[in-house]
Amino acid sequence: MPGPEIPLIPRLRNILQLRFTDIFAALSPAALADISPANPLKRLARVLGYAVLRLVGNIFQPIKNRDDLRSKVWLYVVSANNYDALAFLTEARADAVLVAGQAKNIGRYNAVVNRLSLRRKLLYYWQFPMAYFGLRRQVGPRATRFFDFIFYAIGYYEVYRRALRLYRPRAVVFSNDHNDDTRSLLLACRAEGVPTAYVQHASVSTNFPPLGFDLSLLEGQDALDKYRHCGPITGRVALVGMPKADAYLGRRNTAPAVRRVGMACNIHDPLPALTDTLLFLNRELPELTFTLRPHPSDGRDFGPLRQLLPALQWSDARKENAFDFLLQQDALVAADTSTHLEAVMLNVASIYYRFAANPLTDDYYGYAARGLVERADSPTALVAALRRYAQHKPADLYQRAAYYNATLGTSDEGHSRERTASTLNDWLNEMISTI
């Protein structure tokens, strides 16, 4: 049943919820550089580039979809990780199709995802002055600091409502709940009466928006507890485990001691601190093999580090998924990343080590506080922990992950895909029968 129309300012406040949080505003300029530069002139240049390349460019970009989108179940993705989290559902339902925004970068899956036209998005930019000043009254200077995000968000809602009316999907399944385009489509679905479902694809934070889907399929109790902290939960919730881990749980690390250490980093980890840590570890632990895995969105120049540490091995996150990387490691060192959870499920010893000192992101996912991972607060403590694991790595580390993965240690372990597909199918069939 269609919902009430949401006025522009409350709608954009909802869509940009995460962008106006304290934790987002406190990110370092280096972390924000790729998405919202601190220099207002650079932000303006980024906005103008978006207007020319994306908004105007969309007008001339042809859309030739592989699938008919009418009356289908849309699996809406905004990244390669989202694709990996939802693609298996196309095997469970013949009417499921993978969909993304017109120019959205889905990495290695760009060519195989159906696209929703965003050509008409340009027609709604007359709203920007009203949107900016309205949000300025609500969030103050942050509306100016992040005026680029306001600009990007304009028009998604209206264009997606039009697409929903045109194609009338049976339902839309999401795997992201906080991006501006995702939240715009969610609100558009509510307005058009299209059922929505959510399949969690990574660890969540208490800074996320309240859970607002008709059906939410979460990995475990951790996610449910955090979403309860975010605000009122609407719709049904089921704990289904982690579908993307199914194929790997039977290949857990059985090595009795650590010899291979993976290090995961992202743009939030300062390169000088990362370099100093790697130099120290290589000097103190020459018997261990270290492999660095930058996040796929990390575009920094690692050339000097390669020259400085020629023995350092590398994992390309654009070509190798996290589980395949972890299967080659005995231990993981990283700061705030859900790769910790994936490591522990594979019985890889995981150590939380921060390369930066932002107090608002300390133990962002709560892994250290919950005892999922060991914490090292200094280079010497990190070396001591790795030396201990190099002597003995417990065989039951994976059991710590049961709070995060509802199927771990149960008869459904390794069968989260079937559990997810079955729960989703039952709900979809019920929704479709009432339309």
What amino acid is encoded at 63 in this protein?
Answer: I
Share of the chain above pLDDT 90, in %: 79
Residue ranges in 261-378 assigned as alpha helix (H):
271-284, 303-308, 322-326, 339-345
Model confidence pLDDT, tens digit, residues 309-363 = 999 999 999 889 899 999 999 999 999 999 999 999 999 999 999 998 777 788 9
Same fold, 8-245+415-434 and 249-403: yes
Confidence of residue 28 (pLDDT cuts 50, 70, 90): confident
Q: How many CB atoms lie within 10 A of CB 175?
A: 24
Q: Is the pLDDT of residue 2 over 80?
A: no
Strand order in the sheet with 236-239: 114-116, 96-101, 73-76, 171-174, 196-199, 215-218, 236-239
Q: Is the dihedral of CA 315, 317, 320, 324 positive or negative?
A: positive
Is 114 or 202 the better-scoring residue by pLDDT?
Answer: 114
Please give the average per-residue pLDDT across 209-238, as a whole number.
95
- Residue-wise pLDDT for 46-88, tens only, equals 999 988 888 888 888 888 899 999 999 999 999 988 998 999 9
On the question of pLDDT at 3 being above 70, the answer is: no
What superfamily in CATH does domain 249-403 come from? Glycogen Phosphorylase B; (3.40.50.2000)
Residue found under tokens 């939030």? 268
pLDDT of residue 31: 76
| Element counts in the chain: helices (H) and strands (E) | 19, 13
Q: Look at residue 216 and give its three-state secondary structure.
A: strand
Where are the chain's structural domains? Answer: 8-245+415-434, 249-403
Q: Give the DSSP H/E element, type plus range, for residue 67.
A: none
Dig out the tokens for 390 from the structure: 């190099």
Rg (CA), the chain: 22
pLDDT score for 59: 86
Q: Identify each DSSP E strand in 231-321 by its residue range.
A: 236-239, 260-265, 289-294, 313-314
pLDDT value, residue 433: 67
431 pLDDT higher than 80:
no
Burial class of 167 by CB neighbour count within 10 A (0 to 12, 13 to 18, 19+): middle
pLDDT at 390 over 70: yes
Q: What is the DSSP string of 91-139?
A: HH-TTEEEEEETT---GGGGGGSEEE--GGGGGGGGGHHHHHHHHHHHH
Question: In the predicted model, what is the mean pLDDT of the chain?
Answer: 93
Among 3.30.70.890, 3.90.850.10, 3.40.50.2000, 3.40.50.300, what is the CATH number of 8-245+415-434? 3.40.50.2000
Beta bridge partners of 217: 199, 238
- Give the pLDDT band (50/70/90) at residue 412: very high
Average pLDDT over residues 157-175: 97
What is the mean predicted confidence (pLDDT) over 204-228? Answer: 95
Q: Kindly state the tokens that stand for 268.
A: 């939030």
> For position 1, what pLDDT does the model report?
61
* 69 touches 97 (CB < 8 A): yes
Nearest CA among 398, 339, 267, 360 for reference residue 352: 339
